[in-house]
Structure 1
Amino acid sequence: MRLKRMMLVLGMLAATVASADPSFWKHEWPDTDFSRSSVPHWGEVLSGGPPKDGIPALSDPQFIRVDQEGGIGPTEPVVTVEIAGAEPRAYPIRYLTWHEIVNDTVGGVPIAVTFCPLCNSAITFDRRAKGKTLTFGVSGKLRNSDMVMYDRETQSWWQQAIGEGIVGEMNGVTLTALPTWMESWAQFKERHPDGLVMAEPGYARRYGANPYASYDSSKRPFLYSGELPPHNIPALERVVRVGNQAWPMTRLADIGVVRESGVEISWQAGQASALDATTIARARDVGSIRVRDAQGRDVPHDVMFAFAFHAFWPDGEWMLAQ
C-alpha cells in the first residue's frame, strides 16, 4: 500500500514537471514565443485546472443604469472605474469571479478590468502596450497562485498581479495600472445614483455564488509552494499594496485612516468578502479601501492577499503599526 502511494505521488510529480515545459504547451500555444521569458523556473507555472479560455474573458460588455439593477446585494463588491469624460461604471465581482477579465473602452481609454480570486487581486489596466491595443484572455495557468493572462494579438503571457509580460513578444513590458478600486454596491450607488453597472453576461453561470467558499480563511493558498509572509502575518490576510509597500487590512480597520509615504488610505465598513460565504451577499464584512495622494487624487493600488505580495515583492516594505 505504501509503495502504491509512493508511486502515485511520484507519478503526479513527474506529470507536473512534464507539464511545466514549453514543449508540452506548444500544442495549445503554437504562436507564443517561449524563447523570450522572465520566468526563472518553468516549474513555477502550473495549470489552474481550466484550459486556455476555459474561463471566458468578456469583451464589449453591456451596461444598464444603476436604478435598473435589482439583483445585486448592497454589500456585494464591485470594481469602480471613474475616467474623465465618461460616466462612472461598476463592474460587479459576482461576474468577475466567473470571467476574471473584462475588456472594455471607457472615455476613449481601452481598459482591462481584472480579478484573480485566488489572490483577491483586482487591478484595472490600460490595454495599450508597445503601440498595440491588446485584448486579454485567461490562460488557465497560475504562477504563485496568481492568474496568468494572455493577449490575443501576440499570444504573450502576462502576470496579473504585477501587470507585466512574462512570456513571449511582450516579455518585460509593463501595463499601466489605473486608479480604480473595490467598494460595495451600496457605496457605489450612493455616490453615483445615475451611474452605470455592467449587465449580467449571457453565460450559464451561478452569478452571485462564490465557488471558493471559505477560501480566505484557509491556512495556505491554492497551488502555492512559496514562502509565507513574514511578521506572523497570515497568508490570506488582505493587505493594501501601493507600489512595493503593503499595509495590513487589520491595521487599517482598527484606525480608519493612515497617512504615510505620501498617501492617505481610508477604510470604510460595508463591503462583503468575495471569498467567504457560498453566497457573496451573505459574506462577512471586510471593508472598502480608498487610496489618495496629497492632492486628493486616487492612486493605483491593489487589495491582495499577503502571500501574493510577498511572492511578487519579496523585498517589499511591510507597513506595520508604528
Structure 2
Amino acid sequence: MLSVHTKPSRIPLALLLIVATAAVMAENAFDLRGSLVPADEIHAGGPPRDGIPALTDPAFIPATQANFLAPEDRILGLNLSGEARAYPIGILNWHEIVNDRIGERAVAVTYCPLCGTGVAFDALHAGGRLEFGVSGLLYNSDVLLYDRGTESLWSQIKKQAVTGPMKGQRLSALPMTDTTWRAWREAHPRTLVLSTDTGHSRDYSRDPYGGYAQERGLYFPVSASSKRYHPKERVLGLEIEGTFKAYPFAELSKHGGGEIRDRVNGRDLLVRFDPVNESATAYDDKGYQLPAITGFWFAWYAFHPQTEIFTAARRP
C-alpha cells in the first residue's frame, strides 16, 4: 500500500496503473485481465456492483394509467411483434437496465445517463437468457453491463463482451426509438408503460443528473474526442456492416426535418427527423427500422473516431 506521504512525482506510471486497475477489480470484484479494451481506461463510476439496481421482469401499466408522465417526458420505445412498450428515462436514470420479456422473447433494455444512449438487446444467447446487472464500471464514460451467469463485462455501445468467458461475443441490438411520451403514445395508443412500482424507493420525478446534458464537461475520461460539436449534441448513430455514420441533430435541424435519403456502405436508407419531439429514426430500403443509437456526440465519437458525419447541404 502506498503511503499518503509519498510524493506523486516519485511514483512510476506503471505502478500507478497497476494500483488503479487493482482498485477497480477490488471495488467491483471483476477480473479485468485480458480485457479487449485497455484495463486502465475502465473506471469505477462510484456505485459498487449492483449499487444501481437493474430491474428484472418488472410491472407494466396501460398508457391510460401512466399519470406520472408528462407529454414532453422522454421515453425509450420498443415495438416487437405488434406489442409496444415505453421505458421512461425518468425510471431508467435510476436503474439503467431492464431485463424484460415481450411475449416469449427475452430482451434487455439499457440506458447510460452519462452518454445519453439507450440500446435494446436480444437477450437470448446460445439458447439461454442473459440477465444483466450494472457493474458500476465505465469505459469511455459508458456503462459496462455484466451478465449474471458468467460475470463477463459487456460494453453497451460496442455491443460486445470485453472481459470474462463471453469475451469477444456480441449482442444483437433491436430497433428502439428515443422520443417523447406524447409522440410515442400518439403512434402506439395501446402501449404498455414501465411502472414506477419497481420495488425500489426512488424519486422518479427527480433527475439525478440534472443539468449534465447541457454542460460541456464530462465526469470521466474518454479515449478520443472531437470539438466539432458540443459534447452533448444529440446524434443518431448508425452502423452498416462495419461503417459508422453520425447524424447530428444540429445538422438534421438545418436540413429542416422530415426525411433524408442517404447511402451508407452501399446500402440505401431513410432517416426521419422529428424536430418537435427531438427524435430521429433510420430505416432500410424495405421500410424496416434499423437498430440505431441516439446519444451524445462525445460518446459516439469516443467509440467511433472514424465515423462518417452527415452534414446539411448549404442553401443558396
Both proteins in one fold, TM over 0.5: yes
Deviations 1:209-234 (A, max 9, x none): 2111221222232212433225x222
What is residue 35 of structure 2 aligned with on the other side? 37
Does the aligned pair in 2 maintain the 1:128–1:175 contact within 8 Å? no
What is residue 277 of structure 1 aligned with on the other side? none
Does the aligned pair in 2 maintain the 1:154–1:168 contact within 8 Å? yes
Letter in 1 for 2:86: A
What is the TM-score normalised by the length of structure 1? Answer: 0.85
How much does 1:128 deviate? 2.1
Structure 1 gap ranges (5+): 272-286
How much does 1:146 deviate? 0.5
Output aligned runs, 1:1-322, within 5 Å: 17-18=17-18, 20-21=20-21, 25=25, 28-29=28-29, 34-39=32-37, 41-84=38-81, 86-200=82-196, 201-229=198-226, 232-243=228-239, 244-254=244-254, 255-256=256-257, 257-261=259-263, 262-271=268-277, 287-322=278-313
Separation in structure 2 between the aligned mates of residue 209 and residue 27 of structure 1, nearest angstrom: 28
Distance 1:56 1:245, change over 3 A: same
Letter in 1 for 2:286: Q
Does the aligned pair in 2 maintain the 1:142–1:148 contact within 8 Å? yes
How much does 1:167 deviate? 0.5
Does the aligned pair in 2 maintain the 1:33–1:169 contact within 8 Å? no
Separation in structure 2 between the aligned mates of residue 10 and residue 56 of structure 1, nearest angstrom: 40
What is the TM-score normalised by the length of structure 2? Answer: 0.87
Separation in structure 2 between the aligned mates of residue 5 and residue 180 of structure 1, nearest angstrom: 52
Structure with the bigger percentage of strand = 2
Does the aligned pair in 2 maintain the 1:65–1:197 contact within 8 Å? yes
Aligned residue pairs total 298
Distance 1:9 1:115, change over 3 A: farther
How much does 1:132 deviate? 3.1
Does the aligned pair in 1 maintain the 2:224–2:303 contact within 8 Å? no
Separation in structure 2 between the aligned mates of residue 134 and residue 22 of structure 1, nearest angstrom: 27
How much does 1:87 deviate? 2.1
Deviations 1:36-59 (A, max 9, x none): 4212x2110011110000000000
Separation in structure 1 between the aligned mates of residue 74 and residue 285 of structure 2, nearest angstrom: 26
Does the aligned pair in 2 maintain the 1:266–1:290 contact within 8 Å? yes
Separation in structure 2 between the aligned mates of residue 170 and residue 162 of structure 1, nearest angstrom: 14
How much does 1:308 deviate? 1.2
How much does 1:8 deviate? 7.8
Separation in structure 1 between the aligned mates of residue 261 and residue 300 of structure 2, nearest angstrom: 21
Separation in structure 2 between the aligned mates of residue 23 and residue 5 of structure 1, nearest angstrom: 19
Letter in 1 for 2:270: E
Letter in 1 for 2:165: E
How much does 1:107 deviate? 2.6
Does the aligned pair in 2 maintain the 1:94–1:208 contact within 8 Å? yes
Distance 1:19 1:143, change over 3 A: farther
Match of 1:21, SS? helix
Deviations 1:80-130 (A, max 9, x none): 11111x521111111001000000011321100010011000010011223
Distance 1:229 1:6, change over 3 A: farther
Letter in 2 for 1:176: S
Separation in structure 2 between the aligned mates of residue 127 and residue 22 of structure 1, nearest angstrom: 30
Does the aligned pair in 2 maintain the 1:139–1:150 contact within 8 Å? yes
Match of 2:173, SS? coil
Separation in structure 1 between the aligned mates of residue 174 and residue 222 of structure 2, nearest angstrom: 30
How much does 1:141 deviate? 0.5
Letter in 2 for 1:110: A
